[in-house]
Amino acid sequence: MYSVNPMGNVFILTREGKEYSDEGCRYVEDLIRRFVNDGRTFIFSMGAIYNDPFHLMECLINNRCSYVAISTHKSIWILGFEEDHQQKLIRELRNPENEGKTGWEIALNLFYELYPEVEKASPRSDQ
Round to whole Å and give the CA distance between 121 and 111: 13
What's the confidence (pLDDT) of residue 83?
A: 73
Round to whole Å and give the CA distance between 122 and 119: 5
What's the confidence (pLDDT) of residue 6?
A: 64
Residues 6+ apart with CB under 8 A from 23: none
Continuous segment of H or E residues that includes residue 13: strand 8-14
Q: Are 109 and 79 in contact (CB under 8 A)?
A: no
Q: Mind listing the pLDDT tens digit of every residue in the chain (127 residues)?
A: 444 456 789 999 999 999 999 999 999 999 999 988 888 899 999 999 999 999 999 999 998 778 999 999 889 999 987 778 999 999 999 999 999 999 999 999 999 999 998 876 665 545 4
Which amino acid, residue 91? Answer: R
Q: How many residues does the chain have?
A: 127
pTM of the model: 0.88
Instruction: Give the Cα-Cα-Cα angle 78, 4, 35 (nearest 5 degrees).
Output: 30
Round to whole Å and give the CA distance between 57 and 53: 6
What's the confidence (pLDDT) of residue 3?
A: 44
